[in-house]
């Protein structure tokens, strides 16, 4: 089991050992969340490292990652627990004739007949885990309300069984793409981390971490171009995930520079809307073919 984080810099240092490059705002929130034992709500655009932060924490802490992927219509039965109806039915059928309903009922609503879903698995686990509640903004407000009991008291109420308290306390990370405003009540229980597109040097470090074989000059040019593309008014600006993909593609193609031709042939890796492609070709591609223009 990994030791506790000693300071904000310590978080940065240790997450680096598991291949996650945190800037001071990420490390600051992670440090406080660890000390205050509060969940972290990470919000931000797609592909900026929200999910990866939870994965990196699980790697560093050497804890299992329990992941609840949220989607529209997700309910308690899929997130929390469900009665195992088939097993209950078999139990009732196996019961000798004449056995009292009272005793059967008591039996089939016991823990043996529960199917634990991610939230329950996370708090009932013998060993503490990292609980990732991914893309919480995809669910509705009722679901959020149900989460509140869990996040503030680490307990679950099951009508037939009563209260189930956490055996161990998980480190909790929630992520959101900001597709809807989350409730104040949920935000109040969490520490908030806004993850945005990184600065040039930080993104360069991330790209180089994932593709160390790519030369520094090409990597830097790539990051500068991506940042320029982000500056345009696009439907979907490229994320870190796309920068990494682009770097991998350039490596595969053996490109030792990103000139106008290479850019034109590979820009669909970072730009994925037809209208965006036109804008980017016109605004960035053309500039690349003009050798005298500054990048
Ligand atoms: N700080 C970082 N250090 C190392 N790798 C990073 C970092 N940030 C992002 N990445 C890499 O970028 C990619 C995208 O990250 P991730 O999947 O966590 O994005 P996300 O924010 O969860 O996106 P989405 O909203 O689409 O789910 C991953 O391959 C991840 O390894
Ligand atoms: Mg994600």
- For position 176, what pLDDT does the model report? 97
Pocket around ligand 1 at a 6 A CB cut-off:
19-21, 46-52, 175, 177, 206, 209, 240-241, 244
- For position 96, what pLDDT does the model report? 66
Say what the pTM is: 0.90
Task: Using CB atoms within 10 Å of the CB of residue 252, give its burial: 0 to 12 exposed, 13 to 18 middle, 19+ buried.
Answer: exposed
Task: Using CB atoms within 10 Å of the CB of residue 58, give its burial: 0 to 12 exposed, 13 to 18 middle, 19+ buried.
Answer: buried
- Cα 245 to middle of ligand 2, angstroms: 16
Question: Counting ligands in written order, which one lies closest to the CA of residue 52?
Answer: 1
Which residue has tokens 């050798």?
291
Q: Whose CA is nearest to atom 9 of ligand 1?
A: 49
- For position 291, what pLDDT does the model report? 57
Among 62, 61, 56, residue whose Cα is nearest residue 21: 56
- For position 25, what pLDDT does the model report? 95
Radius of gyration of the chain (CA): 24
- Cα 94 to middle of ligand 2, angstroms: 46
Instruction: For residues 96 and 83, give the distance between their C-alpha atoms in angstroms, rounded to a whole number.
Output: 22
Q: Whose CA is nearest to atom 19 of ligand 1?
A: 47
Q: Whose CA is nearest to atom 8 of ligand 1?
A: 49
DSSP for 10-26, written as a single string = HHHHHHHHTT----HHH
Q: Torsions phi, psi of 212, nearest 5?
A: -65, -20
Closest approach atom of ligand 1 to CA 45: 25
Question: Counting ligands in written order, which one lies closest to the CA of residue 199?
Answer: 1
Q: Using the predicted structure, report yes or no on whether residue 293 has a pLDDT greater than 70.
A: no
- Cα 238 to middle of ligand 2, angstroms: 15
Give the C-alpha distances (Å, rounded to integers) separating 44 from 172, 231, 250.
17, 17, 27
Higher pLDDT, 275 or 152: 275
Q: Torsions phi, psi of 130, nearest 5?
A: -105, 125
Q: Whose CA is nearest to atom 10 of ligand 1?
A: 49
- Under 8 Å between Cβ of 172 and 40: yes
- For position 148, what pLDDT does the model report? 86
Q: What is the pLDDT of residues 221-280, one digit of tens each?
A: 999 999 999 999 999 999 999 999 999 999 999 999 999 999 999 999 999 999 999 999
Q: What is the pLDDT of residues 106-116, one digit of tens each?
A: 788 888 899 99
How many CB atoms are located within 10 Å of the residue 149 CB?
13
Instruction: For residues 269 and 265, give the distance between their C-alpha atoms in angstroms, rounded to a whole number.
Output: 9
């Amino acid at each position: 089991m990994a030791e506790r984080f000693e300071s904000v810099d310590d978080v940065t240092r240790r997450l680096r050992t598991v291949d996650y490059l945190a800037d001071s705002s990420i490390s600051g929130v992670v440090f406080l969340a660890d000390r205050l034992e509060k969940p972290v709500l990470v919000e931000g655009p797609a592909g900026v490292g929200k999910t990866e932060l939870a994965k990196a924490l699980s790697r560093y802490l050497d804890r299992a990652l329990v992941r609840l992927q949220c989607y529209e219509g997700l309910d308690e039965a899929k997130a929390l627990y469900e009665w195992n109806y088939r097993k209950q039915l078999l139990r009732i059928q196996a019961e000798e004739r004449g056995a009292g309903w009272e005793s059967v009922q008591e039996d089939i609503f016991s823990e043996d007949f529960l199917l634990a879903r991610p939230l329950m698995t996370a708090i009932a686990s013998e060993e503490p885990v990292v609980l990732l509640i991914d893309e919480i903004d995809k669910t509705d407000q009722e679901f959020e309300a149900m989460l509140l009991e869990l996040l503030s008291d680490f307990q679950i109420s099951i009508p037939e069984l009563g209260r189930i308290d956490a055996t161990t306390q998980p480190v909790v990370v929630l992520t959101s793409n900001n597709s809807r405003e989350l409730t104040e009540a949920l935000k109040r229980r969490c520490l908030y981390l806004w993850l945005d597109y990184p600065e040039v040097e930080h993104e360069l470090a991330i790209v180089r971490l994932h593709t160390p074989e790519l030369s520094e000059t090409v990597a830097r040019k790539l990051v500068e171009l991506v940042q320029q593309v982000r500056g345009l008014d696009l439907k979907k600006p490229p994320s870190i995930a796309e920068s990494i993909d682009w770097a991998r593609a350039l490596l595969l193609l053996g490109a030792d520079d990103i000139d106008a031709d290479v850019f034109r042939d590979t820009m669909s890796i970072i730009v994925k809307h037809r209208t965006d492609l036109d804008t980017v070709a016109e605004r960035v591609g053309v500039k690349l073919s003009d050798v005298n223009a500054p990048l």
